[in-house]
Every structure is written in structure tokens, then in C-alpha cells.
Chain A
Amino acid sequence: AQKITQTQPGMFVQEKEAVTLDCTYDTSDPSYGLFWYKQPSSGEMIFLIYQGSYDQQNATEGRYSLNFQKARKSANLVISASQLGDSAMYFCAMREGNTGGFKTIFGAGTRLFVKA
């Protein structure tokens, strides 16, 4: 069963505007963590932001914020004031709490294009 779903294969955004990348997840474990990673064309995986299932506040890291809607099982990434350097592949990922080995499952990714 697909546990992480990213429905937007590609997104365009104008420089300096905000963009939301969608992510929905599926788990029956009450304890889980949600992550977003950025993968530029160079290939490395860059951690952006983390949200725990018990966290009361939505996570924020600089220009990145995570719109966590637990009842809807969504964890959308919001990038404010987009920059040309934000053009990359973005992966949503989940780690369930009952996994002793910290297995992290990734979505298919969304490719973001920032236009000048």
C-alpha cells in the first residue's frame, strides 16, 4: 500500500512567490515523523524540515514551513519567497514509530521549477 503520496509530479512558481507542495500519508501508528528533503540536480539529499505526530505546532525552518493537518493526514511543505536555487526535486517522507529500525519511506517526489 502506498504510504506517502505526492500528487504533483511538477510545479512551477514565480520567483519571490510562495508555493505549496502536497503530501498525504497513511499510517495506523499514532507515533510517526514526517520529513521533507530537497534533492538538487547534483543529487545530494538535503534535510529541510521535520514534524512529529505529537507536535502541537507546525514546524518551521526559515523559509520552509510544514502545514500539518493530522486529521486529513497531510503534511504539505510551504516555501515562502521562492528563490531560483529552490529549483529541485522535493521528497516527502515518513518514519513510523513502531519501527525499531527507523525505516523511512519516501514519496515519489515533486519537481519544483522556479521562474525568474
Chain B
Amino acid sequence: EPEVTQTPSHQVTQMGQEVILRCVPISNHLYFYWYRQILGQKVEFLVSFYNNEISEKSEIFDDQFSVERPDGSNFTLKIRSTKLEDSAMYFCASSGDRGHNEQFFGPGTRLTVL
């Protein structure tokens, strides 16, 4: 069964450094998403992406964040100048088309900022 994959599973970085979280969505999906879950808290929407541009973003998704689909398979989230409060689990998700109801989530990348 096709699945969303994410690398790395765990990323440790120093405060102020840049990190890139990688995702490979399901191959025939068109919509891609990033979510964040701070430990013990709810899942928060960051951004959705379609047709090589951002469709929607939350107030969390400020200039510190950017997304890119550099090739036909990868979908990346870049966090510049990381802060302690960026420590969280980051989930990538993808869905098939406008009428597709289910977003398939990847296993997540746990980001720890020291």
C-alpha cells in the first residue's frame, strides 16, 4: 500500500541553525501539507501546497518557514534560524484531489532544538 515517508525520523539541531525536513508524498497525490505537534499538544496546521505554490498557511507559518517541491517526488519544509519552541513533531501529509477526503500522514520527524 502506498504511504507517505519522511526523513529523518529524528533531527537534533542547535538553536539558530537551519533545518530541512523531507517528505515523499504518495506518488499520484496533488495536495501536500505540513503539520506540527508540540509534545503533548494538538496537531496544528502549518501549510498546504498545490500546483507548486502555497494554497493556504496558518499564522504559525511565518517568514521563518518555507516549503518547496524541488523535484517530482520530494516535498520539503525548511525552518530557518531555529528556536527552542520549534521543537516538535512535524508531520507531512498528502491527498489525492479536490474531492479526496483523506489526508494520508507520514510517520513524522521529531525535531529537537537545543
Residues of A that sit less than 8 Å from B by CB: 33, 35, 37, 43-47, 50, 52, 91, 93, 99-109
Q: Which of B15-23, B64-72, B74-82, B103-111 contacts A (4 or more CB under 8 A)?
A: B103-111
B58 close to A (CB within 8 Å):
yes
* In-complex Cβ contact of A100 among B56, B91, B107, B110 (8 A): B56
Report the count of interface residues on B (CB-CB < 8 A). Answer: 28
Contacts A44-B105, A47-B103; A106 near B44 (Cβ below 8 A): yes
Most A-side CB within 10 Å, residue of B33, B41, B56, B103: B103
B108 cross-chain contacts in A, Cβ below 8 A: 43-45
Q: Which residue of B lies closest to A109 (CB)?
A: B42
B114 close to A (CB within 8 Å):
no
